[in-house]
């Protein structure tokens, strides 16, 4: 059992409450941390925030102690000379390593630390700056790339993309939006001219109907789910569509379990019925959209009977779904990564946007499009330009007039071509085109698809600088590791899934010599010849607002303790909850027809099952935070692959038994959990566990528009465990990828 600081002697009178935010999902719950004079957090309790009304989920209430975990980095580290060639250092980061070990599989420092030495900040910053500069000077700026973080603040995201663009001279900058809703954002910008949500979660109470597509909010956005359940209790009809049964299905009027990859067929059939039965909003279509005729032609072949064969949903259920939606006076559309994480994720999102346009369900209370954002600041990081094709405020890098304005603002010449996305950077490293990487608060070794290829890519780099709280799996490959600040140790703004901009406030100081992330960026920029001299975080925010007009009229003083929505029309406004009541940013909304596509990694005789990957309630992303939280780790210490009872019986697998799960790229050993939540022929594996790494199995194929990987369909074979995999033993000399 992990040992944590004893709080038994603390009393409430000794504690100070700090108004701040939850560091986990995109709901952006407002909370208070109660801490003592030494900065030890003793409790979290919900505040009456616009997005949570005092509610918290299990992560928000109990998942704060990771910041005080004994593995926190407190001094810079430099890779020892005898730890080259670079490669993985801990057991579960090596090839062919998985299986039944003790729970709690975070990086073992006993394996990793001997390969690094402590350094002063002066030496570490010089090593990082010179390493990046050497790659730039030898191979050109486009041989460099940066991964920023959706866990950091808007100010940190803004400065990181500015550093990559102005200091290193490349647009090769991205973050985890590329792994969650990049396809949704592409489709939204294409269809209505804005990549953000058009209405807030809590307005579901005003919707007659809400479609919950490809998401599991009870696990991934529990507080948002509580408002959906509350709306259902008061009469809102919830309609769920998913491959894996979400917890919300118990509260729905209708749940349609589709076969993997058949989303387009299902929604095209729904639109077919709505048009055929004259349930569409012709006045809205005439006044505010274009392309209706092309859409009507495209969906005509998708009769409910034809779609039944494609989706597995009976024709009568498809018709009933369409009628309920088409007859409703107001409808909201919520979706998650079951829609977006496909090679045809953009097409999936296009269908939902088309449904909203078809039924006139944008721009009024109780209507709207809402892709539920994953990370606590993935919306803000995207707004701040932490993407390769847009400057802050979604202003195109390829637009010469936009580029000229940013050159004047930043007083530097900027590269003309859009940069590479996350997965493209990995591919380019394998080809020798990317030689240096600066990684701040991201863990691509576990989060990106096809771990074997990511391992090779990281091993191939000439320079890797990692800035993080812990030695992550990615940091094992680093030349320099810079100790950074946790959420509870920083001041900054964060933008939630509702577009609400709120201030996070520090509760404790960073441990040891760990520094604020934006200070590290500033110091590196200065070492590389750029005079960054910001007085504080609010000064950075003011420059961000200047760069991104969509944040106009927002300042630290105006945000206060409760925040405001953007866009904010004037200094006295609380911001706009419901967008596009009169027109869209592009004028008319665009219907973009989609045809049913085919996943690249389909089952056959050798790999007869379909694996779906995602999150579970108790954990987050690659587990860097939650697996170092005492309560959360105790609640869910191990990975479990979900198996349908009929598949389990056929394969000779019992609940809790060990199995081997194998794809065309690798294999993991994992215990089975038998449940009817997954459909026959499908499995589900959470992504948080390095000892049963889901992304060892997944395919790196990308959506051609959003460049998002195919995380949701992966052909696999499952069998009872016979002979456990033997992990490679630590080697005193060789550190190659292997």
Establish if 479 belongs to a structural domain: no
Q: Quick check: bond before 220 cis, omega within 30?
A: no
* pLDDT surpassing 50 at residue 4: no
Average pLDDT over residues 637-652: 96
Phi, psi values for residue 731, rounded to 5°: -115, 135
Establish if 156 belongs to a structural domain: no
pLDDT one-digit tens code per residue, 264-322: 999 999 999 999 999 999 999 999 999 999 999 999 999 999 999 999 999 999 999 99
Average pLDDT over residues 534-539: 96
Interior/surface letters 222-246, b for 16+ CB within 10 angstroms, e for the rest = bbbbbbbbebbeeebbbbbbbbbbb
Contact 615, 686 (CB under 8 A): yes
Contact 447, 176 (CB under 8 A): yes
Establish if 209 belongs to a structural domain: yes
Residues 651, 645: Cα–Cα separation, whole Å = 10
Q: Return all residues near 3 (Cβ < 8 A) that are at least 6 apart.
A: none
**What CATH number has the domain bearing residue 334?**
3.40.228.10
Average pLDDT over residues 653-669: 95
Residue identified by tokens 């030890």 is 40
Establish if 202 belongs to a structural domain: yes
> Residue 657 has what pLDDT?
95
**What CATH number has the domain bearing residue 694?**
2.40.40.20
> Residue 94 has what pLDDT?
77
Domain termination residue (choose one: 590, 625, 659): 590
Q: Where does the pLDDT of residue 10 fall: very low under 50, low under 70, confident under 90, or very high at 90 and above?
A: low
Residues 647, 611: Cα–Cα separation, whole Å = 13
Contact 618, 636 (CB under 8 A): yes
Record the pTM: 0.94
* pLDDT surpassing 80 at residue 668: yes
State the residue range of the domain holding 206. 182-372+585-590
Average per-residue pLDDT in the chain?
93
Please state, in angstroms and as integers, the Cα–Cα distance from residue 87 to each residue in 81, 82, 447, 460, following that order: 13, 12, 18, 9
The C-alpha angle with vertex 104 and arms to 98 and 109, in degrees rounded to 5, equals 85
Instruction: At 180, list the tokens.
Output: 């969650």
What percentage of the chain exceeds 90 in pLDDT?
A: 90
* pLDDT surpassing 50 at residue 459: yes
Average pLDDT over residues 511-536: 97
Average pLDDT over residues 13-32: 94
Q: Where does the pLDDT of residue 92 fall: very low under 50, low under 70, confident under 90, or very high at 90 and above?
A: confident
pLDDT one-digit tens code per residue, 558-606: 999 999 999 999 999 999 999 999 999 999 999 999 999 999 999 999 9
pLDDT one-digit tens code per residue, 251-261: 999 999 999 99
* pLDDT surpassing 50 at residue 241: yes
Establish if 240 belongs to a structural domain: yes
Average pLDDT over residues 661-670: 95
* pLDDT surpassing 90 at residue 2: no
Establish if 147 belongs to a structural domain: no
Establish if 627 belongs to a structural domain: yes
Average pLDDT over residues 201-223: 97
Establish if 177 belongs to a structural domain: no
Helices (H), 214-367: 217-220, 222-233, 263-276, 282-288, 292-299, 304-311, 315-327, 337-340, 345-358
> Residue 12 has what pLDDT?
74
Number of domains present in the structure of the chain? 2
* DSSP character at residue 702: B
Pairing mode, if any, of strands 254-257 and 237-242?
parallel
> Residue 13 has what pLDDT?
75
């Amino acid at each position: 059992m992990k040992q944590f600081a004893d709080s038994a002697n603390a009393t409430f009178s000794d504690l100070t409450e700090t108004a701040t935010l939850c560091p986990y999902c995109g709901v952006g719950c407002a909370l208070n941390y109660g801490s003592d004079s030494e900065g030890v957090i003793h409790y979290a309790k919900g505040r009456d925030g616009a997005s949570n009304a005092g509610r918290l989920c299990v992560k928000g209430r109990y998942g704060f102690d990771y910041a005080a975990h004994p593995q926190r980095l407190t001094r810079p580290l430099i890779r020892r000379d005898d730890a080259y060639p670079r490669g993985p250092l801990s057991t579960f980061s090596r090839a062919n390593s998985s299986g039944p070990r003790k729970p709690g599989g975070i990086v073992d420092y006993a394996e990793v630390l001997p390969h690094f030495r402590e350094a002063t900040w002066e030496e570490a910053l010089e090593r990082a700056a010179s390493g990046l500069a050497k790659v730039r000077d030898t191979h050109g700026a486009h041989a460099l790339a940066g991964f920023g973080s959706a866990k950091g603040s808007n100010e940190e995201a803004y400065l990181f993309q500015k550093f990559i663009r102005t200091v290193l001279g490349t647009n090769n900058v991205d973050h985890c939006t590329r792994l969650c809703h990049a396809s949704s954002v592409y489709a939204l910008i294409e269809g209505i001219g804005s990549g953000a949500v058009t209405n807030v979660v809590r307005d579901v109470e005003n919707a007659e109907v809400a479609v919950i597509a490809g998401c599991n909010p009870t696990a991934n956005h529990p507080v948002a789910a509580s408002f959906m359940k509350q709306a259902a209790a008061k009469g809102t009809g919830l309609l769920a569509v998913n491959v894996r049964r979400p917890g919300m299905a118990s509260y729905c009027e209708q749940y349609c379990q589709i076969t993997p990859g058949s989303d387009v067929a299902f929604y095209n059939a729904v639109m077919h019925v709505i048009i055929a039965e004259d349930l569409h909003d012709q006045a809205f279509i005439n006044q505010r959209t274009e392309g209706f005729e092309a859409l009507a032609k495209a969906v005509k072949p998708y009769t409910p009977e034809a779609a039944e064969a494609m989706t597995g949903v009976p024709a009568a259920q498809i018709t009933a779904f369409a009628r309920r939606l088409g007859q409703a006076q107001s409808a909201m559309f919520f979706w998650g990564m079951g829609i977006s994480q496909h090679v045809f994720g953009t097409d999936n999102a296009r269908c939902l946007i088309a449904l909203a346009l078809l039924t006139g369900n944008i721009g009024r209370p109780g209507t709207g499009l809402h892709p539920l954002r994953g990370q606590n600041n993935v919306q803000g990081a995207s707004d701040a330009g932490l993407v390769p094709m847009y400057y802050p405020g979604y202003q195109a890098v390829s637009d010469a007039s936009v580029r000229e304005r940013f050159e004047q603002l930043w007083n530097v010449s900027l590269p003309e071509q859009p940069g590479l996305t996350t997965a493209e950077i990995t591919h380019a490293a394998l080809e020798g085109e990317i030689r240096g990487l600066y990684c701040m608060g991201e863990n691509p070794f576990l989060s990106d698809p096809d771990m074997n290829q990511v391992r090779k890519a990281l091993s191939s780099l000439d320079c890797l600088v990692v800035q993080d709280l812990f030695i992550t799996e990615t940091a094992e490959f680093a030349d320099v590791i810079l100790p950074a600040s946790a959420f509870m140790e920083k001041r900054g703004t964060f933008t939630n899934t509702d577009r609400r901009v709120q201030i996070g406030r520090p509760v404790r100081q960073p441990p040891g010599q760990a520094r604020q992330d934006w200070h590290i960026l500033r110091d590196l920029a200065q070492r590389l010849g750029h005079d960054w001299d910001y007085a504080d975080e609010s000064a950075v925010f003011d420059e961000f607002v200047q760069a991104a007009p969509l944040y106009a009229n927002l300042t630290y003083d105006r945000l206060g303790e409760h925040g405001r929505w953007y866009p904010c029309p004037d200094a006295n406004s609380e911001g706009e909850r419901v967008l596009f009541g009169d027109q869209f940013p592009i004028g008319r909304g665009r219907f973009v027809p989609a045809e049913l596509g085919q996943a690249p990694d389909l089952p056959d005789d050798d790999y007869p099952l379909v694996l779906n990957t995602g999150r579970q309630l108790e954990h987050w992303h690659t587990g860097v935070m939650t697996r170092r939280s005492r309560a959360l780790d105790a609640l869910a210490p191990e990975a479990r692959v979900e198996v349908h009872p009929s598949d389990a019986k056929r394969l000779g697998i019992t609940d809790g038994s060990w199995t081997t799960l194998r794809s065309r790229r690798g294999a993991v050993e994992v215990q089975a959990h038998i449940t009817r939540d997954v459909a026959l022929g499908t499995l589900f594996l959470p992504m948080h566990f390095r000892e049963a790494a889901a992304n060892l199995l997944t395919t790196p194929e990308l959506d051609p528009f959003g460049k998002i990987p195919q995380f949701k369909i992966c052909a696999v074979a499952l069998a009872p465990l016979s002979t456990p995999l033997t992990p490679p033993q630590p080697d005193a000399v060789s550190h190659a990828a292997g």
